[in-house]
Each structure stands twice: as structure tokens, then as C-alpha cells.
Amino acid sequence: MTDDPGRVRMELRDQVAYLTIDRPAKLNAFTPSMTAALMSHVTHVNEEPEVRAVVLTGTGRAFCAGSDIAGLDDYATPWEFGNRPDYCDAIRVLRKPVIAAVNGYALGGGLELALGCDIRLAAETATFAAPEIKLGWIGGGGMSALLAHSIGPGNAAVMLLTGDPVDAATALRWGLVSEVLPADDLADRAAELADTIASRAPIAAQTAKRNLRAAFEMPLGRAIDYERQLQTICFATEDAAEGRAAFAGRRPPVFRAR
């Protein structure tokens, strides 16, 4: 195992939590201690009512290069490897809306991290790849399913079967990211978008996130019925009443997550 365990930093600004993967010398490749830190931050964000949105990014030239390959031999058996805590799982259990600000390389598990976010923004210098096939295995953090949902099975097959990188312009064209920006503008745009989401009704935002994910797992009729049930739950909240009152009074709403 490397002597540099890395870290995942969290900063709270207003109603947004900023999570930064910080191991630039190793392209922000994850170690077990970084996974534990990310899981701890996610638990805090889920339990903190004041946090209404999340931004995930990296330091240096990378968003995240996945797992630290040098550390994979530390697992005694394939069973131990398969049951290790997974940083990609941590992102998927975030209940708050999360934006990936992909500042550079998003490789392997780093791509899976980005795919686990609700919205992906990319710097013009960002690069995306599923390179596991070049090393003799495939991704295990949702790579195939999430890629296919995001960019279609054909484009996903190109990435999965070649392992070759995709640049930011191609990622935008395929629908892997929503916006591509100059590198110097990425952080500001992510913050702007997070602030906008944080200003919306938080129960509705978290419900919309859950509904979007459920839509991929249900037949159309069930998905529409589920959406209507969630709409009814939201409609019964104090925030929904506040939204209607604010609309009638022509004033900005004040949402309290109630």
C-alpha cells in the first residue's frame, strides 16, 4: 500500500456541501481510508437538514482515477475484495442532489463516481474512460448499467470494450455530461447550480431525485403511478403550502423542509 493515504475534504458553504477528493499526486485514486472518509461525510450530509445540495470534485489534474491499483493486492481473497466498502456505493446513498464537477481525469471508479451523481459538469480538459478491460477485469461499481442509461448501449460498449478515453466534447455529445466549461469556470458554475437547487423546496428536490432513479427500474405505468404518489406526498407538505402562498403573494418562497 502507498504511503500517501489521501483524504476527502468537506466544506459547508451556506446550504451546499463541497466534497473534494484530495490526492493529486496519485490522480485522486481512492484508498480505504479515503473511502471511509467519504462514507462519513455522506452520513453527515444525509443527517444534516441544513445541507440541501452537494458538489463533488477533485484536486489537481484529476476528478478521480478510481481505486489505487497498487493497493488491490492487499486483499487476501477475491471474496474479501468483493465485499470491501465501495466509494461508489457511498455516492449512491446520498439523499441530497449531488453535482459532479469533473475537473480532469474520470477513470474507472472515478467515472462510476461521476455516474452516481445526479448532474455532471465537465471542464474542457476532462477525460472519461472505463479502462478496466486493459487490466483484465471490468468495472464493479455500476459501470455498465449506469453508462448504458447515460449514453446508450452502443456508446457504452465502445467505452467498455476498448477502455479508450473519451474527451469532454464527445461526452457532451453522447449525453454523459450536461455542460462543458472552461476549466477556470467549472467551480463557479457548479456552485451556481448547487445554490439554485438549494433554494428549491428540499423535500421536493430529494423526492425528484428518488423518482428519477426509480423511473429507470420500473415499467412506464408503474413509474407514472409512483410519481403521482410522490407528488401527493410533496403536495401535503408545509413547503408546498408555502410555495402556493408565495405564488399568490408574488413573493419568494421560504422553504423549511417541512
**Catalytic position from the list 47, 50, 124, 132:** 132
Task: Report how far residue 157's alpha carbon sits from residue 200's, in angstroms, rounded to the nearest whole number.
Answer: 37
Residue carrying C-alpha cell 454523459: 176
124 catalytically annotated: no
**Catalytic position from the list 47, 48, 50, 112:** 112
Task: Report how far residue 208's alpha carbon sits from residue 202's, in angstroms, rounded to the nearest whole number.
Answer: 10
Contact 32, 84 (CB under 8 A): yes
Q: Where are the alpha helices (DSSP H) in the chain?
A: 32-47, 78-82, 87-92, 109-115, 143-151, 153-162, 168-174, 183-198, 202-215, 220-235, 238-249
Number of H helices, E strands in the chain: 11, 10
Contact 29, 64 (CB under 8 A): yes
112 catalytically annotated: yes
Task: Report how far residue 152's alpha carbon sits from residue 147's, in angstroms, rounded to the nearest whole number.
Answer: 7
Angle between helices 238-249 and 202-215 (to 10 degrees): 110
Contact 99, 194 (CB under 8 A): yes
Angle between helices 220-235 and 202-215 (to 10 degrees): 170
Q: What are phi and psi of 120, to 5 degrees?
A: -120, 125
Cell numbers at residue 119, please? Answer: 448532474
Just list the catalytic residues: 112, 132
